[in-house]
Amino acid sequence: MQRAWPTPRQRSRRPAAMIASNATETAMSNSITKPVTPDQRSYAAVLSDLDCGSLGEHIRRPSLATRSIRVGAPFTSLDLWCVDLDVTADALNCFRQGLSRDELARAERFHSDLHRARYIVGRATLRRVLADRLGCSPATIRLSYGRNGKPMLEGGRGHVEFNLAHSGGDAVIALADRAAVGVDIELHRPISDVESLARLVFSDVERRELKLAPDPVSAFLNGWTRKEAYVKALGIGLTAPLREITVSLSDGAALFSTGLRDRSASYWRLLSVPHPRAVVAVALGPRLDRATTTGWLQSKGELPGLNPAVNCHQMRHISTTMNGGLQRRNPE
């Protein structure tokens, strides 16, 4: 495992607790079967060199977890950041300053002020967290995008992989070294018909487990967030053939079937992250090249993961159904 350590200037600003958690990574390497519990600590110091005053105060519910996780044979480090996206107007102006031109242009396309503000805070915090890891300034971070929109560091800088997810005013950012990483968060909420949703996105095995679950909504959210974290780690998102992937729905997070021919689930780790208002899942696995995605298991020889015409329809249907009770961001 390799870490990019901060510059001396950053090191002096790095929270003591963050340094301490790095030292304990090896000792915690067996945490792969246990839930990851973010340590409650302030990251005001990490945000302080935005030079906009004490922005850390506007980031409520700060959490950070650092762990060493076994993914296949090698270990990777995992850093998790929980972010409150709802900030004051003054703070929002400061966050806005950290964004690139294309991020600002995207922000302008949001219909809703609330969603625009949340997008800005999420992206600015992501830049800050990446800058802290890479030892550079947030403005110098260059992002590129995968075929299905997954943001990544241009040129694979520092072998750092990351992913971001949001639900309402809460976001989670996950960072990993030399491993694909995906994260998903869904706020706890009532869902009226989990069975019809499950027919769209769950495998037969998962649907059988859902029928037996004492709390079907929690079981559904466990399965959904784990599956979405996995397909986000792959970078394919909801265009993946979701019903060919199987995850656990109970408390212990696990991937049982990758949906990929000749790809063993044993190379992947799924983790549940305790959160006061939401279900949060993280997926870590080997980085896959594009050729691998042609290996999606297909009964009819089609490749839905690579056919946007089919999958946009499928994806919109799932998103609309999933977001029925939630306001989701829509920039277009």
Ligand X SMILES: CC(C)(COP(=O)(O)OP(=O)(O)OC[C@H]1O[C@@H](n2cnc3c(N)ncnc32)[C@H](O)[C@@H]1OP(=O)(O)O)[C@@H](O)C(=O)NCCC(=O)NCCS
Both structure tokens of 203: 């495998």
CB 331 within 8 A of CB 109: yes
Q: Which of residues 184-203 bind ligand X (CB under 6 A)?
A: 184
Report, in Å, the least distance between residue 312 CB and ligand X. 3
Instruction: Give the CB-nearest residue to ligand X.
Output: 237
Give the H/E segment covering residue 89: helix 89-97
Report, in Å, the least distance between residue 148 CB and ligand X. 3
Residue (71 or 322) nearer to ligand X, CB: 322
Query: Is residue 164 close enough to count as binding ligand X by CB under 6 A?
Result: yes
Residue (166 or 178) nearer to ligand X, CB: 166
Residue (211 or 290) nearer to ligand X, CB: 290
Query: Is residue 150 close enough to count as binding ligand X by CB under 6 A?
Result: yes
For residues 204 to 233, the per-residue mask of contacts with ligand X, x marking binding by CB under 6 A and - elsewhere, is ------------------------x---x-
Give the interface segment with ligand X, choosing from 61-69, 71-79, 131-139, 160-168 (CB under 6 A). 160-168
Residue type, 247: V
For residues 295 to 314, the per-residue mask of contacts with ligand X, x marking binding by CB under 6 A and - elsewhere, is -------------x---x--
Residue (79 or 228) nearer to ligand X, CB: 228
Looking at the chain, list the stretches that DSSP marks H as alpha helix, in order from N- to C-terminal side.
8-13, 16-23, 44-47, 89-97, 101-108, 113-134, 194-201, 204-212, 216-234, 308-322
Backbone angles phi, psi at 244, to 5 degrees: -95, 0
Neighbouring C-beta atoms of residue 180, cutoff 10 Å: 22
Q: Which of residues 71-130 bind ligand X (CB under 6 A)?
A: 119, 122-123
Query: Is residue 148 close enough to count as binding ligand X by CB under 6 A?
Result: yes
Q: Which residues contact 277 (CB under 8 A, 6 or more apart)?
A: 170, 187, 188
In sequence order, what DSSP letters do the residues of 50-85 get, joined into one string? GSSS-GGGGS-S-EEEEEEEE-SSSEEEEEEEEEE-
Residue (25 or 263) nearer to ligand X, CB: 263
In sequence order, what DSSP letters do the residues of 189-225 get, joined into one string? ---S-HHHHHHHH--HHHHHHHHH-SSHHHHHHHHHH
CA distance 265 to 25: 24
- Select from 149, 155, 190, 276 the one that contacts ligand X (CB under 6 A): 149
Give the H/E segment covering residue 272: strand 269-273
Report, in Å, the least distance between residue 28 CB and ligand X. 26
Report, in Å, the least distance between residue 182 CB and ligand X. 6
The residues that touch ligand X, with contacts defined as CB under 6 A, are 119, 122-123, 148-151, 163-166, 182, 184, 228, 232, 235, 237-239, 308, 312, 315, 328
